[in-house]
Amino acid sequence: MEGQKLAWYTCEACGEKWDDLARNQAVRLGDWREKNKGIALDIYLRAHSPRAIGFHLRSWISPFVSLSEPAAAFLWGQKDKTKLKDFQNAHAAEPWKVYVKEREEDRILALCDDRPRAWYRAAALWRR
């Protein structure tokens, strides 16, 4: 399915669904802006003269990646935590955050009882 390039991007500004071609045209017509205040890149660079600059780009706005690639990676990530991590890092351009919900020890211990292990086997045979 990924090879059929059926994925689209919904524009945050106008709500239109863009295929790869429309997205690529929008990217070519766009310009780089400073992240916090939206200042045009050339104005920002002249005003601040930074020693280095970096760009943080999600793959679905890159003209070098089909929209179907991050869409497929996201869907595969719903079945596999490692693939979801890969999607988050490689396509969403965001760090992976480990979310673990610990169970409280008391809740686990509440499920235990004093019956010996052999009782379970005997009960299982008795039910047959």
Please tell me the distance from the alpha carbon of residue 97 to that of residue 79, in angstroms, as a whole number.
17
Count of other CB atoms within 10 angstroms of residue 55:
7
| Residue 104 confidence (pLDDT) | 78
For residue 126, pLDDT beyond 70: no
Question: pLDDT tier at 118 (50, 70, 90 boundaries)?
Answer: low
Q: Considering only residues 36 and 86, tell me which one the structure prediction assigns the higher pLDDT.
A: 86
Please tell me the distance from the alpha carbon of residue 86 to that of residue 108, in angstroms, as a whole number.
33
Question: Which residue do the tokens 């965001």 mark?
Answer: 94
Question: Would the pTM count as exceeding 0.95?
Answer: no
Q: Considering only residues 1 and 19, tell me which one the structure prediction assigns the higher pLDDT.
A: 19
